[in-house]
Structure 1
Amino acid sequence: MSSTSPTPPGSVERLPRADGRIFLVTGGNAGIGYFVAEQLSTTGATVVLGSRNPAKADVARASIRARVPGAQVRTVQLDLADLSSLEAAVQALDVDRLDAVVHNAGVALDDPPRRETGDGHELMFGTNHLGHFALTHCLMPLLSAAPAARIVTTGSFAAKTERLDLDDLESREDYRPKRTYGRSKLAQMYFGLELDRRLRAVGSTVTSVVVHPGGALDSLTPSRPPVHVRTTGALILKAPAGLLLQGKHAGAWPAVRAVLDPAVRGGELWGPRVFGLRGRPRREPVWSHLTDATAAARLWDATCDMTGVDVGLGVDLG
């Protein structure tokens, strides 16, 4: 992706231009997704906020336009928990190509009980992993129509200590919210890496990159009222937490770099520079458990069975 700016592509202060490009950010109405969208909008690209809640998406779009003069921001209703709705959502994009998608949206439940999507899947696994897998299937024609599109999957540092239970992917036998969340994000990361292997095998021009935001806290995130308002209590916590962690605006940096930097390659993992928790984005070694190609292939096959689609092949298995 070329730039007329002398600033290096990895700069977080001044991003390279991306005029004429089209980027979709799932969950772009809040949290890290909002800041990914805000930062990408400074490049001259058209940024589409994918959100389950149209009212919240409209508020986020207005916030970005107020902060970024001339920002080209659109919204599309997107409910990753409803697999049958995704094809219509992609049609609603009304574009002939897509230069990048950032798979950012996610559900995190802190307390029991276990919940399910309308399709009968555990809510976090169904939304975070299955929804993005099925969405990628729907988006592949648009991504393939771009010269060198990128699929950027946002994992989580919480996945680093988790391991998949391939016999209980949806936590039917043993449900613990924090562990189930971490495993849903781990599944996403496996997917992003396996997807790139499969895209390379068929000679696709589309590449897949995996990122994670490190430790991104609301208390360290700058206010974007009414999207995000940092409280007085949060300000008190800011100093000690800031030694090791960062705000969600900084948590967005790895994803933004993965979209824009021509030096980023498919199959790479990007995260914050300092202990993987804070700082400017850098390429880091793929975590050892994510290199298990057998587990990745088994997860892929199971995901195809659960969603009824196979990404990259253009095949509906239902």
Structure 2
Amino acid sequence: MPPTAQTAPWDVRRPPRADGKNFLITGGNAGIGYFVAEQLAGTGATVVLGSRDSTKANAAMTSIRSRVPDARVRHLRLDLSDLSSIKSSADALELDGLDAVVCNAGVLLDQPQRQETEDGHELTFATNHLGHFLLVGCLAPLLAARAGRVVTTGSFVAKSASLDLADLQSARDYQPKRAYARSKLAQMLFGFELDRRLRAAGGTTLSVVNHPGGALDSLTPSRPPVHIRTTGQRLRGLPAGLALQGKEAGAWPAVRAVLDPSVRGGQLWGPRRLGLRGEPRAEVVQGQLADTALAARVWAASVDLTGVDPFEAVPGPAQREQ
């Protein structure tokens, strides 16, 4: 559905109720993921914070409950960098169905040295993309049980990134910020490719992609002890507020992608103003993000790197035509 076809009003401050629904947010203990969790908790849904750090998850739940007294929120231990642990984490959800998983967690390392996981994968690519690739596959039955949604949170910087399919894990030219942008591009391409495969298989699960625009800590309201913004930080961030926004607003596209009944699979949601700030809207999917051949090759590479095809029962368009 093109952006101009949106007709239903949407209030970012008052999203619709979602009582009885179950949502999992990866990285829901901090940053944009925290605000996605907080906003979804306010709808009456059960919100699960996927995080490897129980202390940070507990702090996030305490903060959410202080703002949403009747919040139904709990923690799931989830380490996306440890691919061998993901199935057991998914099994530990112990839910009869999942209405949405928000694939939000991501790492941007600040050390110049390339780091690898115990599985031998580059840490950024493993956490941001490969871990989510496996997780969504493990959750597929729970999502199908409720015609749920896979909501993949990418990044504005991914739009200008480029992938070297022969070196997806940056073994030759590692730079932390570039590795992050590449991992987010791979993740977004996965989200679009997943929706194509789901549609081809007649599935009821939707896959939607979103990005937060330009979301800065200095423009983000305090949520102690999760995030504390000093007066000095707030004042220094005021000029940037003309073009960018905080992480509370950065969560709006993901929240709308989870809740809005007008959302369609394969859409891209981002901030209204130049893709950097403002209320969420559907964007035109173009450039690399619209490259179906590239997305299919990233999918195949993900299967090769993990040694598992968690979606082998979900045929792609080429398989359907055979």
Common topology (TM > 0.5): yes
* Matched-pair contact (CA < 8 Å) for 2:271–2:278: yes
After superposition, residues 249-288 of structure 1 pair within 5 angstroms as 249-288=248-287
Q: CA–CA distance in 1 between the matches of 2:290 and 2:219?
A: 33
What amino acid sits opposite 2:144 in the alignment? S
- Residue 206 of structure 2 is matched in structure 1 by 207
Over residues 33-78 of structure 1, what are the superposed CA-to-partner deviations in whole Å (9 max), with x where a residue is unaligned? 0000000001110000000101110110111011102110011100
* Matched-pair contact (CA < 8 Å) for 2:159–2:289: no
- Residue 28 of structure 1 is matched in structure 2 by 28
Root-mean-square deviation (CA), in Å?
A: 1.1
- Other structure's SS at 2:55 match: helix
- 2:90 is the counterpart of 1:105: no
What amino acid sits opposite 2:48 in the alignment? V
TM-fit CA distance, 1:208: 0.1
- Residue 320 of structure 2 is matched in structure 1 by none
TM-fit CA distance, 1:84: 0.7
What amino acid sits opposite 1:52 in the alignment? R
What amino acid sits opposite 2:299 in the alignment? W
- Residue 312 of structure 2 is matched in structure 1 by 313
- 2:143 is the counterpart of 1:138: no
Aligned residues: 307
- Residue 114 of structure 1 is matched in structure 2 by 114
After superposition, residues 1-318 of structure 1 pair within 5 angstroms as 10-146=10-146, 148-313=147-312
* Matched-pair contact (CA < 8 Å) for 1:125–1:184: yes
Q: CA–CA distance in 2 between the matches of 1:73 and 1:125?
A: 28
TM-fit CA distance, 1:9: 5.9
TM-fit CA distance, 1:110: 2.6
TM-fit CA distance, 1:100: 0.2
TM-fit CA distance, 1:314: 5.0
* Matched-pair contact (CA < 8 Å) for 1:9–1:262: no
TM-fit CA distance, 1:294: 1.0
What amino acid sits opposite 1:208 in the alignment? S
TM-fit CA distance, 1:275: 0.6
What amino acid sits opposite 2:184 in the alignment? K
- Other structure's SS at 2:23 match: strand
Q: CA–CA distance in 1 between the matches of 2:112 and 2:237?
A: 29
TM-fit CA distance, 1:313: 2.8
Structure 2: tracts of 5 or more residues without a match: 1-7, 315-322
Q: CA–CA distance in 2 between the matches of 1:233 and 1:185?
A: 31
* Matched-pair contact (CA < 8 Å) for 1:22–1:98: yes
TM-fit CA distance, 1:92: 1.1
* Matched-pair contact (CA < 8 Å) for 1:81–1:131: yes
- Other structure's SS at 2:213 match: coil
Over residues 166-187 of structure 1, what are the superposed CA-to-partner deviations in whole Å (9 max), with x where a residue is unaligned? 1110000111111111000000
What amino acid sits opposite 1:107 in the alignment? V
Q: CA–CA distance in 1 between the matches of 2:267 and 2:121?
A: 29
**TM-score computed with the length of structure 2 as normaliser:** 0.93
What amino acid sits opposite 2:260 in the alignment? D
Q: CA–CA distance in 1 between the matches of 2:239 and 2:197?
A: 43
- Other structure's SS at 1:259 match: helix
Over residues 279-308 of structure 1, what are the superposed CA-to-partner deviations in whole Å (9 max), with x where a residue is unaligned? 000001113111111111111001001112
Over residues 178-234 of structure 1, what are the superposed CA-to-partner deviations in whole Å (9 max), with x where a residue is unaligned? 111100000000000000000000000001000000000000000000000002331
Q: CA–CA distance in 1 between the matches of 2:140 and 2:311?
A: 6
- Other structure's SS at 1:16 match: coil
What amino acid sits opposite 1:100 in the alignment? A
What amino acid sits opposite 1:66 in the alignment? S
- Other structure's SS at 2:289 match: helix
TM-fit CA distance, 1:111: 3.1
- Residue 4 of structure 1 is matched in structure 2 by none
Q: CA–CA distance in 1 between the matches of 2:197 and 2:258?
A: 20
- Residue 5 of structure 1 is matched in structure 2 by none
**Residues 1:9 and 1:86: Cα distance change in structure 2 (over 3 Å):** farther
Q: CA–CA distance in 1 between the matches of 2:294 and 2:193?
A: 10
Q: CA–CA distance in 2 between the matches of 1:117 and 1:314?
A: 28
What amino acid sits opposite 2:25 in the alignment? V
What amino acid sits opposite 2:306 in the alignment? T
